[in-house]
Amino acid sequence: MRLIADRIDIGPLQKIAPPPAKEKWGSLKSLEKYLATLVPAEDARTAMGPLFGVYELRLADAHLAAKDVENAFKLAGIDREAPPLDQGYSLIRNVADAIWAAGAIVYKHVRGREGSGHAAEPTE
């Protein structure tokens, strides 16, 4: 998760979707807010949910209460009743799907802009 979150350049994202005054967004929140300029905010939040959940799990060992850990697993789409190997698979799959979903949103926007000569209107 560090590889993903730490590699996102927030500068260009925050030029398009700037945080409110006195509010600081990290890389995942910046990406979510950028995606929300292309699709409805709820769709952006859904696409990013697993990434937020897994990021919270990364911090869980030192920082999150047990209730928050369970919420992070839920946000990441992990069935805590499943065998550990299945949970690990779900974690990897859900992160990959979230990255793909974010990329698909951006690709659709860029492709629409190239085809029409202007930014594509969000349709989802």
Task: Tell me the DSSP string of 32-63.
Answer: HHHHTTTS-HHHHHHHHHHHHHHHHHHHHHHH
Cα angle 44-49-53, degrees, rounded to a multiple of 5: 155
Say how many domains are in the chain. Answer: 1
Domain hosting residue 103, numbered range: 42-119
Please check whether residue 11 lies inside any domain of the structure: no
Please check whether residue 60 lies inside any domain of the structure: yes
pLDDT computed for residue 102 by the predictor: 94
pLDDT computed for residue 41 by the predictor: 96
pLDDT tens, per residue, the chain with 124 residues: 777 888 899 999 999 999 999 999 999 999 999 999 999 999 999 999 999 998 888 877 667 677 788 888 999 999 999 999 999 999 999 999 999 999 999 999 888 877 655 444 444 4
Please check whether residue 58 lies inside any domain of the structure: yes
Please check whether residue 16 lies inside any domain of the structure: no
Does this model's pTM top 0.85? My answer is no
